[in-house]
Amino acid sequence: MSTFLDVLEDVTKRGTKIPFNQYLPNGKYPIIDQGQNKVAGYTDQEEGLFTEIPAIIFGDHTRIIKYVDEPCFLGADGVKLLKAKSECSNHKYLYYVLLNAKIPDTGYNRHFKWLKEIDIPIYDEKTQSNIVNELDKITYLINKRKIQLEKLDELVKARFVELFGDPVGNTKNLPKKTLPELGELGRGVSKHRPRNAPELLGGKYPLIQTGEVANAELYITSYENTYSEIGFKQSKMWDAGTLCITIAANIAKTAILTFDACFPDSVVGFNANEQTNNIFIHYWFSFFQAILEAQAPESAQKNINLKVLSELEVIVPPIEEQMKFVSFVKQTDKSKVEIQKSLEKLKLLKKALLQKYFG
């Protein structure tokens, strides 16, 4: 066994960093930063191109790990390069070791002392290569499933535009109404913050918060926390089928409850009347989410209020046309559920293989 530091030549911020406002949507060279996406943007700049590949990139704040095997530039913030010694030529193997490691969720990351605590199993070169090939195959299938899900999402939005035109510009000149005219709109209730009152938690009443709405897609199917009887008395239960709309931190993200649940005042609930449908409203919001987020005032965190939502004007196609779209979404969602199941199985398999090889 060796530690990770034993095999590293360097831990550095080496390389020319491109400011975020200079990222291009297309260009000659990718820009790698510490965000979720492997490629954050592009540049046509030549000077400072990082070519000492392959290498591993680590995010100071996000702790996201990326394997780089093409010339690139580093993003503007919080990115470090982990470069192995020449005798440890299989960077992809080291990348998978690091993916399996327990990295502390603290500023301690920046000093990389935790690398001394990560043991690397010593396999011969052929075995390392075989491990990498096996994990690469699983990773390829995982990425393929993710792309399939993205394509289905694009298909649904394309169908929306086909039926109703561009909702932002209302290109089909459809009538418009506000959300209060189209159904019941109300803010969640939480007289006390659970983080300040632990006695509110731990009961039988599901509690949904902004992160769970933002991370869901069409439906919210699970929850992390529950209210106790005390928590429930200072809140309100919303019925399954309610459209949840975030108004703080994550702005105008929407998803539909599949179970009765409470939520705090950072989430708004909407239930459509006979003029529209919650699924239709969910996808209408998907076209406006980025716009609303950009316009939201920012203090400690971005937020909008119930008044802003109440004044939004929603296109109102004939209900028959809306229900055609809803039927299409439901059929598409069946395909997404099957792909998602396959994706989860592949993720579990990858996790099991990482544990098998690296402990």
Task: Using the Cα atoms of residue 88, residue 89, residue 95 and residue 96 in order, give the sign of their dihedral.
Answer: negative
* 359 residues of the chain, pLDDT tens digit each: 666 666 766 666 555 677 878 889 899 999 888 877 888 889 998 888 888 788 888 777 777 888 988 888 887 666 777 777 765 668 898 889 888 887 766 554 555 666 667 777 878 889 989 999 999 999 999 999 999 999 999 999 999 999 999 999 999 999 999 999 999 999 988 777 666 678 889 999 999 999 999 999 899 999 999 999 999 999 999 999 999 999 887 888 999 999 999 999 889 999 999 999 999 999 999 998 888 877 766 654 556 788 888 999 999 999 999 999 999 999 999 999 999 999 999 999 999 999 999 87
- Residues 304, 124: Cα–Cα separation, whole Å: 57
Give the integer Cα–Cα distance in Å for 66 and 80.
11
pLDDT at residue 100, as a whole number: 86
Same domain (yes/no): 147, 262: no
Are residue 202 and residue 240 in the same domain, yes or no?
Answer: yes
Distance CA 262, CA 232 (A): 8
Position 104 scores a pLDDT of 66
**What distance in Å separates the CA atoms of residue 167 and residue 282, rounded to the nearest whole number?**
13
Domain containing residue 74: CATH number: 3.90.220.20
- Burial label for 254, CB within 10 Å (0-12, 13-18, 19+), is buried
Q: Would you call the peptide bond into 54 cis, given omega within 30 degrees of 0 as the criterion?
A: yes
Q: What pLDDT does 198 receive?
A: 81
Number of other residues whose CB lies within 10 A of the CB of residue 292: 19
Q: How many domains does one find in the chain? A: 3
Q: What distance in Å separates the CA atoms of residue 78 and residue 66, rounded to the nearest whole number? A: 13
CA distance 74 to 19: 9
Q: Tell me, what CATH number does 336's domain have?
A: 1.10.287.1120
Per-residue model confidence (pLDDT) at position 55: 83
Residue indicated by tokens 């792909």: 339
Co-location of 143 and 214 in the same domain: no
φ, ψ for residue 316, nearest 5 deg? -130, 85
For residue 111, what pLDDT is reported?
A: 54
Q: Are residues 224 and 336 in the same domain?
A: no
State which residues form the domain around 250. 175-316
Kindly write down the DSSP assignment for every residue of 242-301, as one continuous string. PEEEEEESEEEEEEEESS-EE--TTEEEEEE-TT--HHHHHHHHHHHHHHHHHHS-BSSS
Instruction: Let me know whether 179 and 310 are in one domain.
Output: yes
284, 220: one domain: yes
Same domain, 208 and 232: yes
Q: Is the same domain home to 309 and 182? A: yes
In the prediction, which pLDDT does 99 show? 86
Q: What is the pTM of this model?
A: 0.78
